[in-house]
Amino acid sequence: MPTEYTNLVTALKALTQGEEPNVKTLPMAENEWNTRPDSDSYGIVALDFEADALHGDNIKVCTAYEGSVDLFSRKKDGDGWVEEIVNTLTAYCDGAWSLNSHMYERENRIFHWEWVFQVEG
Amino acid sequence: MAFTMQTSGMAELTKRLEKLGEKAQGVASLALYEGAGMMADEISKAVHGITTEPFRYGTIENRRKPSPEEKAILENARKGVAKFHKSPDRVDTSIGMQNSGYAELKGKTVPIPLIANAINSGTSFMQKQLFMRRALSKRRAAEAKIEQELEKRLDELSLD
């Protein structure tokens, strides 16, 4: 696992909102598989595949990995977690991230954000 | 499901292209067509690699995989190269399923891009399978192909 990615995951799992008496935390699962944290909003972070690599002397000098962060929310504004996640991505991946899609599921009334980021490994 | 492809280090080639004048756009289109075709093939391969399971109702607690019917729709959908958009200094096209129309799924008419989006990005009831992004991560080969084709065709032209 690239260290940059591990740092990002720990930062995302530690996201909090609000003042001391009623602090909200975002349930964030890593490589989620058939489980769902029971909450209004929840997130998934995963490392997907190798995006690109720089080769020299027949070895990989530098590798870039691509991953994604998903946020599911029942609130239209993402319950304030959108900004928090964007700030975390900026802090840990610099400029190497983008909002891949934003969708709405009519049947379940869930909003879905998907960010794609790249980290160096 | 749009994306952009860029090739860099083309300063020399553009100089030569300018000299070639009217013929340049035709050459660029032919080269682009080769590269775009490669990407369309990659997308077809990626669609073929989607894993499926027999249909069941996915729930938020227990997300499902795409059903074989949904995969078959994507496999049969039109994934060609779109009409070329030509302007004086560039040629654009797009590859993907944005214009592939509608399909019949369980007695309903569903837009094919919607199915592709649901499988590619995942939903609250379906696991995500990044077939599109996996295909696009191989765009380096297509870019190299475009440059190679440009070189070849320009050499042929300048011999005239």
pLDDT at B2 over 60: yes
Does the pTM surpass 0.90? The reply is no
Answer yes or no: do B133 and A101 touch at CB < 8 A: no
Whether A13 is covered by a domain: the verdict is yes
- Report yes or no on A12 lying in a domain: yes
The answer as to whether A22 is a domain residue is yes
pLDDT tens for B121-151 read: 888 888 888 888 888 888 888 889 889 988 8
Contact at CB, B121 and A49, closer than 8 angstroms: no
Q: What is the pLDDT of residue B20?
A: 64
Angle among Cα B130, A40, B123 to the nearest 5 degrees reads 20
* Residue A23 included in any domain: yes
Closest chain B CA to residue A114:
B121
pLDDT band at A113 (very low <50, low <70, confident <90, very high): very high
Whether A39 is covered by a domain: the verdict is: no
Residues in chain A: 121
| Residues B84, B33: Cα–Cα separation, whole Å | 9
Q: Write the single-letter amino acid at A69.
A: V
* C-beta atoms of B117 and A101 within 8 A: yes
Residue B71 burial (CB count, 10 A): 21
Asked if the Cβ–Cβ distance from B125 to A108 is below 8 Å, we say yes
As given in the structure block, the two tokens for residue B109 are 């008419």
pLDDT for the residue A115: 92
CA dihedral sign, ordered B93, B98, B101, B104: positive
Strands A41-56 and A28-30: parallel
Give me the mean pLDDT over the B53-77 stretch.
82
Residue A112 lies in a domain: yes
Token duo for residue A20:
């001391």
Q: How far is A19 from chain B (nearest CA, A)?
A: 30
From chain B, the residues in CB contact with A114 under 8 A are 121-122
DSSP code string of B68-102? HHHHHHHHHS---BPPPEEETTEEE--BSSTT--E
* Range with lowest mean pLDDT among A11-20, A96-105, B142-151: A11-20
Residue of chain A minimizing CA distance to B141: A52
| CATH number of the domain to which A73 belongs | 3.30.980
Q: Which domain holds residue A19?
A: 3-34+49-120
The answer to whether B2 faces chain A, any CB pair under 8 Å, is no
Q: What is the pLDDT of residue B158?
A: 62
Question: Angle CA(A29)–CA(A34)–CA(A40) in degrees, nearest 5?
Answer: 55
Q: What are phi and psi of B61, to 5 degrees?
A: -75, -30
Cα end-to-end distance, chain A, whole Å: 8
Domain assignment of residue A61, yes or no = yes
Q: 């929310």: which residue's tokens?
A: A73
Closest-CA residue of chain A to B137: A51
* A14/chain B closest Cα distance in angstroms: 23
SS3 content of chain B, % helix, strand, coil (to 5): 50, 10, 35
Residue A40 domain-assigned (yes or no): no
